[in-house]
């Protein structure tokens, strides 16, 4: 959740998501790697500011920030399909007035294939 908030804050500041930049041309892989490092450091700085402003004691693991920069606002097809299916199911529940819709926030862990609902 915090990682997604950081990505949104990064977008507000730079008008793009971390790790999202034009494709390389003429063997510019070093500049791409450098841009990833810059985005990682910017995202880490935004994280420090955000956590300090919210007065939270938690910290963000660097491997999470690196992964957020690496994938550059891309989505895995299987994750997109699952979330799309959940949204469609919830829409059907609301339209037909059958069953109970998800209450509040659904968090899906694609690595463990588990979903949890949190009432905030």
Return the ∠ at Cα 94 (arms to 88 and 100), rounded to 5°.
100
Which one-letter DSSP state was computed for residue 109?
Answer: E
DSSP 6-31: HHHHHHHHHSS-TT--PPP-SS-HHH
Any idea where the domains of the chain sit in the sequence?
Answer: 2-71, 77-118
pLDDT at 94: 93
* pLDDT tens, the chain, 120 aa long: 788 888 889 999 998 889 887 665 555 556 878 888 999 999 999 988 887 776 655 667 888 888 888 887 777 677 888 889 999 999 999 999 988 888 888 898 887 889 999 988
pLDDT at 54: 63
CA 16 remoteness from chain centre: 13
pLDDT at 65: 86
What is the Rg, in whole angstroms, of the alpha carbon atoms belonging to the chain? Answer: 18
**Tokens linked to 12:** 């507000």
pLDDT at 12: 93
């Amino acid at each position: 959740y915090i990682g997604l908030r950081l990505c949104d804050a990064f977008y507000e500041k730079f008008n793009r998501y971390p790790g999202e930049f034009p494709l390389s041309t003429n063997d510019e892989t070093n500049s791409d790697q450098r841009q990833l490092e810059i985005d990682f450091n910017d995202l880490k700085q935004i994280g420090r500011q955000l956590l300090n402003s919210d007065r939270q004691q938690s910290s963000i693991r660097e491997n999470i920030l690196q992964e957020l920069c690496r994938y550059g606002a891309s989505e895995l097809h299987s994750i997109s399909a699952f979330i799309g299916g959940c949204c469609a199911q919830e829409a059907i529940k609301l339209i037909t007035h059958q069953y109970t819709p998800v209450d509040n926030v659904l968090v899906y862990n694609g690595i463990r294939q588990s979903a949890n609902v949190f009432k905030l």
